[in-house]
Amino acid sequence: MIIDLDKCVGCHACAIACKAEWEVPATKGRNWVKRLGPSNTPHGLASTYYPGLCNHCDEPACVGLCPVDPVEMTFKDAKTGKTQTMEVLATWKDPFDGTVQIDKERCVGCGACADACPYTARYINDEGDEPKADKCTFCVERRDQGLDPACVQTCLAGARIFGDLNDPQSEVAKYVKNGAAKLESANVKIGPNVRYYGNKRDMSLLTSTSIPQNMPEANRRRAVMARMMMPAMKQIKNIGLLGLAGALVVKGLEEKKE
């Protein structure tokens, strides 16, 4: 996905469309729009917005920390029909379209994946019967029907552009060729697949305020504790009390720092 800061007007239609499409709690967000500035930059006074969402990274920090037992899953390339079978946790990276997805049925809501994300793009939805991790999926269900993600379809200014980077004729590929940039720092290089494009002033403000400088430190403790709880969680699930157990696990793992 490309986000063109020169076009974004900060209307929040993308964030509202996402909440409506996926019933996101009012206090949470699969995506967001933050106001930046006015602030001085080396290129002059800047005022812009930071529309953010899950970056569906090349090397997602969230995936490997999931504590659930792996299961075998077969993936299919929609274009070629080629298949690939591999073991996945409750969250995984699709080997063909590159998106990072979550299996809500298998997620135990421990929060390890949310802690791991340097972009804070995941959250724990605790409004249902069981706490579950949630985030942007690039609207995989809509894309399966040939539709654009809800935020892209709703963007009034056409500031969100979605497509196949491997297709050199696609609009996203042209943006990348023209300099669309990833939000990466020296210590956070995990290959985000959301890129930003804009004038020098706005891009300077965005990159100086919104690029994560370090990977989170506390996530492994939460993952280890969640793995220790898994046998008890499975036993409790068998007697129909998983929701209570999940809530207790989340409550017991609230600390973000050691």
Q: Do residues 36 and 7 share a domain?
A: yes
Q: Do residues 7 and 43 share a domain?
A: yes
Q: Do residues 8 and 45 share a domain?
A: yes
What percent of the chain has a predicted confidence (pLDDT) above 90? 81
From residue 222, give the alpha-carbon distance in Å to each of 24, 67, 251, 254: 24, 9, 11, 9
Q: Do residues 186 and 152 share a domain?
A: yes
Looking up tokens 């020098």, which residue turns up?
Answer: 200
Helices marked H in 131-218: 140-144, 150-154, 171-177, 200-210
**Is residue 170 domain-resident?**
yes
What percent of the chain has a predicted confidence (pLDDT) above 70? 84
**Is residue 40 domain-resident?**
yes
**Is residue 192 domain-resident?**
yes
- Tell me which residue range forms the domain holding 238: 219-252
Interatomic CA distance for residues 170 and 209, integer angstroms: 30
**Is residue 203 domain-resident?**
yes
pLDDT number for residue 72: 98
**Is residue 127 domain-resident?**
no
**Beta bridge mates, 76:** 83
Q: Say whether pLDDT at 157 is over 90.
A: yes
Q: What is the mean pLDDT of the chain?
A: 89
Q: In what helix (H) or strand (E) does residue 86 lie, and over which residues does it extend?
A: strand 83-88
Q: Do residues 46 and 141 share a domain?
A: yes
The string of pLDDT tens digits covering residues 16-68 is: 999 999 999 999 999 999 999 999 999 999 999 999 999 999 999 999 999 99
Q: Do residues 200 and 244 share a domain?
A: no
Give the model's confidence band at 225: pLDDT under 50 very low, under 70 low, under 90 confident, else very high.
Answer: low
Q: Say whether pLDDT at 220 is over 90.
A: no
Looking up tokens 């991790």, which residue turns up?
Answer: 133
Cβ atoms of 111 and 124 closer than 8 Å: yes
**Which two structure tokens, joined as six digits, stand for 11?**
């209307």
**Is residue 87 domain-resident?**
no
The string of pLDDT tens digits covering residues 109-139 is: 999 999 999 999 999 999 888 999 999 999 9
Number of domains in the chain: 2
**Is residue 169 domain-resident?**
yes
**Is residue 122 domain-resident?**
no
Q: Do residues 6 and 51 share a domain?
A: yes
From residue 104, give the alpha-carbon distance in Å to each of 92, 134, 179: 12, 8, 36
Q: Do residues 149 and 197 share a domain?
A: yes
Q: Do residues 206 and 242 share a domain?
A: no
